[in-house]
Amino acid sequence: MIILRSRAEIEKIKTSCAIVAEILDRLVEHIRPGVTTWDLNAISEELTSKKHAKPAFKGYHGYPFSLCASVNEEVVHGMPSKHRRLKDGDIIGLDYGVVLDGYYGDAALTVPVGEISRDAASLCTVTEECLYEGIRKAVSGNRLSDISHAIQDYVEKRGYSVVREFVGHGIGQHLHESPQVPNYGPPGKGVRLKPGMVLAIEPMINAGAAEVDILEDQWTAVTRDRKLSAHFEHTIAVTDNGPIILTRRKNLFTKLYG
Ligand code: MF3
Ligand code: CO
């Protein structure tokens, strides 16, 4: 069952999403060689409590941190560590969620640390672009897999691969609600999109092969070939006037999309 959210509920989700977007902007300002992912987690927690919100991920299925920080070949759910010090040329995925007044927001982006290679930059750009290709299809009357297909098509045409093991999701009064939103599949399948649906769309894109492994910590997903991976996520609402991005940041990583 997919819950259709009222305007008042979407306003609450939007409040949480605005906090997530602002915290991601603040975290990006701290990204530089020498910073540890542990430091970033601590900053995210401090900013969240200042907003009187709660981290959405901490304790979720036993996840022990507030932030997911996935460096280079890490795909998602990278665990913050005092030993993971960022270095020049890394890329880092920052995935963050909060809950306020019972409603959730969730978003992610991947950013460069210092100077990165052209290949790394291109992977990040294509991953951000494919997210917007998916969001463009989040229109009332389309079907769910129109989003999925648009993402896969955009990515594979550019020689990258789509991770299958993790998918986007409905979001609202829980972090993960129905429906699942895969980043691959044929067009024209699944439920018809309706105003009031709120979705977290989150493509994870690999430079090499699509396969992933889970590390011994039981959380960190890495590419099996240990090549780079990037991740972008927005929480969006389907409305009568098209999709609205609820987690829009003020500082955009690329300038392609206003
Ligand atoms: N954005 C990710 C997701 O929706 C982050 C979840 S991390 C977890 O799955 F720890 F909460 F699982
Ligand atoms: Co998510």
Domain count, the chain: 1
Predicted model pTM: 0.97
Residue type, 131: L
157 located within any domain = yes
- Number of helices and strands in the chain (H, E): 4, 15
Ion ligand 2: residues, CB < 5 A? 106, 200, 202
Please give the distance, rounded to the nearest whole angstrom, from the Cα atom of residue 194 to the centre of ligand 1. 25
Domain range enclosing 138: 7-257
CATH number at residue 82: 3.90.230.10
- Is 2 part of any domain? no
**For the segment 142-156, what is each residue's pLDDT rounded down to a tens digit?**
999 999 999 999 999
* Ligand 1 atom closest to 166 (CA): 9
β-sheet bridge partners, residue 157: none
Average pLDDT value for residue range 166-192: 98
Which atom of ligand 1 is the closest one to the Cα of 68? 7
Give CA separation, 185 vs 2, 42, 99, 156, 227, in Å.
20, 38, 31, 12, 23
239 phi, psi to nearest 5 deg:
-130, 175
Residue 1 lies in a domain: no
Q: What are 191-245's pLDDT values in tens digits?
A: 999 999 999 999 999 999 999 999 999 999 999 999 999 999 999 999 999 999 9
Is there a domain that residue 26 lies in?
A: yes
Please say if the pLDDT value at position 257 is more than 60: no
Asked whether the predicted pLDDT for residue 256 surpasses 70, the reply is no
